[in-house]
Amino acid sequence: MKFEYITPLIVFFFVYLLQITIVPLIRLAGIIPDLILIILVYYSISRGQLYGTVLGAVYGLLIDLISGNLLGLSMLSKTIAGFTAGYFTGETKKIVNVTTYNFSLIVLLCSIVDTIIFSFFSTFDLQTNIFSILFEQALLPSLYTAVVSILFLFYPLRRRKF
Amino acid sequence: MFRLFSKVWANFKEYIVLVITVLLSLIILSQNQNPKVQKVKAIAFGSFASITSIISDIFSTSDLKRENRELRETNAKLMLHLSKLREFGIKNDELRDLVHFKDTTSFPLIPASIISKSLSFTQNSITLNAGKKDSVLPGMPVINDEGLIGIIQSTSEDYSIAKTLHNVDLKLTVMDERSRINGILKWTGEELIMQNIPSTYDVEVGDRIITSDVSSIIPVPVPVGVVEEFKPSGLGMFSYIKVKPFVNLTNIDNLFILAVVKSKQVKDLELNFYRHQ
């Protein structure tokens, strides 16, 4: 029971270390995949919407604290992304959604939600071209994150806990 | 009452938790300037940065050879600049002597390395391995041999976080080096633009942009970039000026923190002024 809450935090610190040290080495035109979002989507589908929402808030708050971003910004975007991913949970659906290419599509959707909210709150300005921001800051990074999430499907099924 | 609450909770708990966490996020967002919140952030990133620095050290050693070659090349270029500047310096000293003006200002540089980068489109920031112990203070400019990188945002004992030019929260007073026109430099999330320049003002593509001497953040002229695109506005009063920064923010590893903050600089200049009264 305790591990249910501690494991995602341990995983977070490990994955966040990768995110800020190794992942920048695979950037494409300044775009990097969001590994934290991939694990958030995984936990949200496998453990439910409520769990995903709270975990999104915790992950977002930790990212804001560690990265020096505006405090509360990632918390808001990751909370809603975790909540969105929670719609794809369910006793029968969750195994299908975590073990097939559906997973990447869900990651794509949640990543778009996450990046749109993040970009909107951080660059809100009447002069800014919203469509350009949606394309460059939301769609492209989301696509990259979704592509990287395919690698997650190769992680052995028996090691995953649902 | 309790049964009603239990029923509502059972049916809508996901939505209730969502509303609570979203509200909590918005409350925290509004408290960003609170000194206590800043202190908590400094402790949090300082603790995590010590772990990150170990990993970043491992990766940075593999780049040493390439970096060494680039540094030798920069060194040669700087040597040529230096000999030119020496000539100007001699002339400058002669002119200063003529007007009995003594320069008391100096700009110590604090060397630092980047231990992590947040490659966000809007909130780009870098974590540096120099902090309060090295006399780094919030507001100090971060530079390298090419130009301005950003401004120190917050510091812990051993580490600091700097907002780069690609951060929407960083707005700087800059000027056109040729025409001495001042404007506000701002990152929109996709490009670096210079704001508040009337359409009739003299700005040309290729003009060098430096930090302004009226800047409240950076007290010395530091190169920032070059005007890449200039469009006089058709209907509005202000023109559109796109600036290409000198520094490629994705490839920087080592940099310097200019150990001055504006207040000290103003104080020094005022003292200098009164000395000659």
Share of chain B above pLDDT 90, in %: 4
Q: How many CB atoms lie within 10 A of CB B198?
A: 14
Per-residue model confidence (pLDDT) at position B59: 67
Q: What distance in Å separates the CA atoms of residue B192 and residue B121, rounded to the nearest whole number?
A: 12
In this predicted structure, the answer to whether residue A159 has a pLDDT above a threshold of 70 is no
CA distance linking residue B98 with residue B47, whole number of Å: 54
Cα–Cα distance measured from residue A13 to residue A39, given in angstroms and rounded to the nearest whole number: 12
Question: Cβ separation of B22 and A79 shorter than 8 Å?
Answer: yes
* CA pair distance B232, B203, nearest whole angstrom: 10
Using DSSP's 3-state secondary structure scheme, residue B229 falls into strand
| Mean pLDDT (whole number) for B12-25 | 91
Contact B17 A122 (CB under 8 A): no
Of residues A4 and A17, more confidently modeled: A17
Helix axes A102-123, A140-149, angle to 10 degrees: 150
What value does the mean pLDDT take over residues B33-44?
80
Residue A29, chain B, CB below 8 Å: the answer is: no
**pLDDT tens digits, one per residue of B22-34:** 999 999 888 887 8
Cα separation, A133 vs A128, whole angstroms = 8
Average pLDDT (B168-195) is: 84
Query: Crossing angle for the helix pair A49-67 and B2-30, nearest 10 degrees?
Result: 20
Q: How many DSSP H helices and E strands does chain A contain?
A: 8, 0
Lowest mean pLDDT, pick from A37-46, A153-162, B141-150: A153-162
- At B274, list the tokens: 């009164």
Q: For residue A81, give the nearest of A120, A110, A121 by alpha carbon.
A: A110
Is the CB of residue B159 less than 8 Å from the CB of residue B49?
yes
The whole-number pLDDT of residue B41 equals 79
Q: Encode pLDDT of B61-97 as tens digits.
A: 666 777 777 777 777 778 778 877 877 887 777 777 7
Mean pLDDT of the residues in chain B: 79
Hey, is B10 helix, strand or coil? helix
d(Cα A33, Cα A142) in Å, to the nearest integer? 7
Which runs of E-coded beta strand occur in chain B? 109-118, 123-128, 141-143, 148-155, 160-167, 171-176, 182-187, 192-195, 208-211, 223-231, 240-245, 254-258
Q: Which region among A100-104, A126-130, B46-50, B163-167 has the lowest average model confidence (pLDDT)?
A: A126-130
pLDDT at A124: 62
CA atoms of A24 and A33, how far apart (whole Å): 9
pLDDT tops 60 at residue B268: no
Least confident of A50-54, B38-42, B153-157: B38-42
Are the C-beta atoms of A74 and A63 separated by less than 8 Å? yes
Which residue, among A24, A124, A116, A144, has the nearest Cα to B127 in the 3D structure?
A24
Q: Work out the minimum CA distance from B175 to partner chain A, whole angstroms.
A: 22
Report the 10 Å Cβ neighbour count for A30. 15
Chain A residues near residue B245 by CB distance under 8 angstroms: none
Whether the pLDDT of residue A72 is over 80: the answer is yes
ipTM over 0.95: no
Weakest mean pLDDT among A50-64, A127-141, B33-47: A127-141
For residue range B236-265, list pLDDT tens digits in order: 677 888 889 888 877 777 888 888 766 555
- Residues A127-135 have a mean pLDDT of 69
Task: Tell me phi and psi for residue A101, to 5 degrees.
Answer: -65, -10
pLDDT tier at A161 (50, 70, 90 boundaries)?
low
CA–CA distance, A62 with A57 (Å, rounded to integer): 9
Chain B closest-CA separation from residue A53 CA (Å) = 6
For the segment B23-49, the average pLDDT, to the nearest whole number, is 83
Neighbours of B67 (CB within 10 A): 12
Pick the residue of A59, A113, A118, A122 with the most B CBs within 10 A to test the interface with B by mutation.
A122
Mean pLDDT of chain A, nearest integer: 84
Q: Compute the Cα dihedral for B65, B68, B74, B79 and give only its sign.
A: negative
- CB-based contact (8 Å) between A26 and chain B? no
Nearest to B170 by CA among B190, B191, B186: B186
pLDDT at B277: 45
Pick A65's closest partner by Cβ from B45, B119, B127. B45
Strand partners, B245: B225
Per-residue pLDDT at A81 exceeds 90: yes
Query: What's the average model confidence in pLDDT over B165-171?
Result: 84
Tell me which residue in B161, B168, B190 faces A122 most closely, judged by beta carbons. Answer: B168
pLDDT at B8 over 60: yes
Model pLDDT, residue A77: 93
Of residues A32 and A3, the one with the higher pLDDT is A32
Give the model's pLDDT for residue A36: 92
Percentage of residues of chain B with pLDDT beyond 70: 85
* Residue B1 exposed, middle or buried by CB count within 10 Å (0-12, 13-18, 19+): exposed
Lowest mean pLDDT among A135-139, B173-177, B227-231: A135-139
pLDDT value at B182 more than 80? yes
* pLDDT tens column, B216-226: 677 778 888 88
Q: What angle do CA A11, A122, A57 make, to 5 degrees?
A: 30
Question: Of the candidates B107, B148, B45, B88, which has an alpha carbon nearest to the alpha carbon of residue B264?
Answer: B107
Cα A110 to Cα B165: distance, rounded to the nearest angstrom: 28
Residues of B with CB under 8 A from a CB of A: 13-14, 17-18, 21-22, 24-32, 37, 40-41, 44-45, 48, 51-52, 55-56, 59, 116-123, 125, 127, 153-154, 161, 168-169, 188-190, 250
Note whether B194 and B241 are within 8 A (CB).
Answer: yes
Instruction: Indicate the pTM of the whole model.
Output: 0.70
Which tens digit of pLDDT belongs to each residue from B87-141?
A: 788 777 777 776 665 554 567 888 888 887 777 777 788 888 888 888 888 888 8
Q: Which of B50, B78, B224 is nearest to A13 (CA)?
A: B50
Closest B-chain CA to A63: B45
User: Rounded to an integer, what distance in angstroms lies between the CA atom of residue A149 and that of residue A42?
Assistant: 10
Residue whose entry in the numeric block shows the structure tokens 């902090």:
B131
Predicted pLDDT of residue B180: 84
